[in-house]
Amino acid sequence: MSGGVDSAVAAARAVEAGHEVVGVHLALSRMPGTLRTGSRGCCTIEDSMDAQRAANLLGIPYYVWDFSERFKADVVDDFIAEYSAGRTPNPCMRCNERIKFAALLEKALALGFDAVATGHYAKVVTGDSGALELHRASAEAKDQSYVLGVLTAEQLAHAYFPLGDTPSKALVREEAARRGLSVAQKPDSYDICFIPDGDTKGWLAERVGTETGEIVDRSGAVVGTHEGAHAFTVGQRRGMRLGTPAADGKPRFVLEVRLKENTVVVGPKEALAIGVIAGSRFSWAGLAPEDPSTAFACEVQIRAHADPVPAVAQTTTDAAGATELVVTPESPLDGVAPGQTAVIYVGTRVLGQFTIDRTVSAVPVGA
């Protein structure tokens, strides 16, 4: 229970369904802030108190479990390391993978619980084969199946998402109000929970440091300078203050961020288009496809709130025995950065996910 409305209503529904429910608030920082600020909806003492008030109202016990060390090592430090290595990680996925459905789930199972219920908008359903499947939530706008794409069959077997069938968040808020939960109108949280003011770039600059570097075009010609490459994301257009105009006079976009060289590569919008994405770190959500090395139709989604794109996927194994999952979207993808997670869907079902570590441009240099 984060202290937000979703987990409070999820807990209420779990209680109502007749389960023996215990509220657990994750302490993810040894030095939590006192009061909620900005758009954050978790991780302060105020949020912990909100969670406890909800648990009190539901008549369930409430405890704070300290995962601050693991969170720092597995999520926060990983976030910094990934950025430093030139990749764009998703810390919420990492938290689901390593904390909520790993450390927390394991501790809960060991303590005698059967499942971890959360306020995520996603569904776990039993498929035709009898195996558990992860699906998109009924509330399309709030669907969080993307950030749960990392869950394996074993984790799905102990995951419980009571909000999965609710058509909208508004209904969840209404229900919270009806139940007398004080968090019914609490604002949603959007930002990364461990970056209090939402200033991800400033936060990273403090930890990774700032250093003047070059902005180059695809031919390698220097067209400007910047104050730290980590402040840029692929697909970004503004904030580059380029001195040299492009030959064709068209706006330029960030095509690539080479953090190791502290260099930002820019070019025309067309050059953002990515024709193939691939990654060797992949997992299947539930049952793996019978033969993933045979190309199969799917949709691929590369950000939490991006639209899924029809694609063809298959695993390939090179001579050295290394297997990667290769996905070719029907139409090119924009704004793909290494380190991002691609989640593969078939209809509403999450088939699996992989971390993008290789991309192939849809437009060759000079085209």
Where does this chain bind other proteins (CB under 8 A)?
22, 25, 27, 30, 32, 45, 48, 52, 61, 63-70, 98, 101-103, 105-107, 110-112, 152, 154-155, 283
Q: Which of 42, 43, 193, 298 is catalytic?
A: 193
- Nearer to other proteins by C-beta: 18 or 112? 112
- Nearer to other proteins by C-beta: 92 or 246? 92
- Nearer to other proteins by C-beta: 30 or 358? 30
Continuous segment of H or E residues that includes residue 207: helix 200-208
Give the integer Cα–Cα distance in Å for 129 and 126. Answer: 8
- Nearer to other proteins by C-beta: 65 or 296? 65
Give the integer Cα–Cα distance in Å for 89 and 341. Answer: 7
> Is the backbone of residue 230 left (phi > 0), alpha (psi -120 to 50) or beta?
alpha
Q: Which of 42, 43, 95, 298 is catalytic?
A: 95
CB of 367 to other proteins, least distance (A): 40
CB of 68 to other proteins, least distance (A): 8
- Nearer to other proteins by C-beta: 98 or 173? 98
Taking the CA atoms of 245, 248, 250 and 251 in sequence, report the sign of the dihedral they define. Answer: negative
Active site residue 95: yes
CB of 151 to other proteins, least distance (A): 9
User: Between the CA of residue 96 and those of 29, 100, 159, 351, 356, what are the distances in Å?
Assistant: 16, 5, 11, 17, 18
CB of 55 to other proteins, least distance (A): 11
Active site residue 298: no
Closest by CA position to 301, among listed 329, 280, 276: 329
Instruction: Work out the burial of residue 171: count CB atoms within 10 Å of its CB; fewer than 13 is exposed, 13-18 middle, 19 or more buried.
Output: middle
Neighbouring C-beta atoms of residue 185, cutoff 10 Å: 10
* CA 125 to chain centroid: 21
CB of 111 to other proteins, least distance (A): 5
* Phi–psi pair at 361, nearest 5 degrees: -65, 145
Catalytic residue annotation: 95, 193
